[in-house]
Structure 1
Amino acid sequence: MTESTPYEQALDYMERIVSVFSMCVPAPKRVAFRHSFVYRYVEKTVHQALVQKLARMVSSLHAAKLLLEAGFVQEQASLQRILDEITEDVSFLAFSVINAESTPSHEQYLENFFQEEFDPAEESASSTNRAMVPRKKIRAYLDRCASGTKNSSKNLDTSRTVSKAYSGYVHAASPQIMDMYGGVTRGFFMRGMHGTIRQAEHRADFWNYMYRGIMACCYAAKAFGDEELFVSIREYEAGFLKATSTNFQSNDWSAARVDRYT
């Protein structure tokens, strides 16, 4: 049997944590929907929202890892743009519990989050309006939690920069598409970029999302009031850092520092 990698171990670990959290909230119930039913969290609590966000986070990390291994790094980067928002949302919700300060933005977020996409009484495919909390408000709240002062731009600038860069992969902007171009034949890599420097770069970058996933679980444990699990995750985080990085930089960057396709 092949020994699992630190990333595979971390994903298994995060899955177990989400399962623990899911047992701490009222379970989803069958809700009538048109001629059948759907499962829903009918209580619509912040902790139920955290469970759902974390479940989608781990699923997306699995998917991004598969795309990376196959060389589809443009698609991997698109998923990482989604993961940026998911991890921000987890922190946004978790800190509202940790700091005992549910703001109108938190209340609006939960209302929008649990809102149904389709009217179960209607047969049409038109969706309902969903007034989302502006991303800049979520990031400003997280910045205040991190900096302890208002009007700080220390973390906001970084968040905006990362968001804009990865939005280019989601919306297929020209500079990001041109990352697919090159090689001996000078063409577009349309069956993945396996074995190229681009894959090496995105492999190194993927470490950030794995680490942030672990930290999201850590914040959630604090929000659930599970101090023992919180300490356990922090210990796991320390081991993950030691095994995979140096000074919060992926060890894979050494293989990615090449200025040409290999």
Structure 2
Amino acid sequence: MDSFAFRYIEKTIHQAMVQKLARVISGLHAARLLMEKGFVQEQAALQRMLDEFHEDITFLSYAVIFNNRIPLHQKYLDAFYEEEFDAPSAIESTQKRLMVKRTKIRAYIAQVSGPGLDPSTGVEAARTLSKTYSGYVHGASPQIMDMFGGNPPHFHVNGMRGTPLQEEHQHDLWNYFFRSIISFALVAKAFGDEELFRSLYDYHIEFDRQSGRNNTVQNADET
């Protein structure tokens, strides 16, 4: 049977947001499975991907919500929709994907987020978060040595179930589910669905409340 792949013909900013949300959902499922089996190194590497998905969604949704679409958005979409290869075989292909620099995406988000946020501070915070997980993605020695321990000491190559690190990464995964609710709310807002946006906004506050952290609840009460 001949194989084929689906593609969006219009290649719009809204279609890009939907596709990014699809990856967020599958990424959360994968991260949860890795965490449950104790593969915290792999979970952390995946969370780095989720960080960028959330940045991309914010970057795209802000363009619509605040009617602030700039040439950088079109450059991003051109790269996003570009096919991986421009020839029948990968070896013959001369395609080079021109990705938008992550620093520019973060700078836009920080600038649009509001006058109360120093753009340089927002960019630096995002860069620091990304750098935190970079060692897991690239296999740096300090992160790899987190796998080493026990009696006798050895590399835990079958996962780290039952260790303090698993509990730590389980706690960290909460943040990614929380941020995902926000990403869905932003996309709902960008699509003009105020009812869904309000429902998701209320849900993210309730999610925070049930987690026991109550950071969002406190901020909402202050406003």
Report the counterpart of residue 110 of structure 1 in structure 2.
77
- For residue 6 of structure 2, give the secondary structure of its aligned residue in structure 1: strand
Report the counterpart of residue 123 of structure 1 in structure 2.
89
1:177 matches 2:144: yes
Q: In the TM superposition, what is the alpha-carbon distance from 1:153 to its structure 2 partner?
A: 2.1
- For residue 76 of structure 2, give the secondary structure of its aligned residue in structure 1: helix
1:191 matches 2:158: yes
RMSD: 1.7
Q: How many aligned residue pairs are there?
A: 214
- Any unmatched runs of 5+ in structure 1? 1-34, 250-262
Distance 2:146 2:89 in 1: 44
Instruction: Give the 4+ runs in structure 1 shifted more than 4 A.
Output: none
Q: Which residue identity lines up with residue 114 of structure 1 in the other structure?
A: Y
Contact 1:89 1:138 in 2 (8 A): yes
Report the counterpart of residue 99 of structure 1 in structure 2.
66
Instruction: Select 2:20's aligned residue among 42, 48, 53.
Output: 53
Report the counterpart of residue 206 of structure 1 in structure 2.
173
Name the one with the larger strand percent. 1
Distance 1:183 1:218 in 2: 44
Distance 1:89 1:116 in 2: 19
The alignment's TM-score, normalised by the length of structure 2, stands at 0.91
| Identity %, equivalent residues | 52
Report the counterpart of residue 88 of structure 1 in structure 2.
55
Contact 1:117 1:127 in 2 (8 A): no
- For residue 89 of structure 1, give the secondary structure of its aligned residue in structure 2: helix
Query: 1:150–1:210: structure 2 CA closer, same or farther, 3 Å change rule?
Result: closer
Q: In the TM superposition, what is the alpha-carbon distance from 1:37 to its structure 2 partner?
A: 2.3
Report the counterpart of residue 44 of structure 1 in structure 2.
11
Q: In the TM superposition, what is the alpha-carbon distance from 1:124 to its structure 2 partner?
A: 4.1
Q: In the TM superposition, what is the alpha-carbon distance from 1:101 to its structure 2 partner?
A: 1.4
Name the one with the larger helix percent. 2
Distance 2:190 2:54 in 1: 14
- For residue 119 of structure 2, give the secondary structure of its aligned residue in structure 1: coil
1:246 matches 2:219: no
- Any unmatched runs of 5+ in structure 2? 217-223
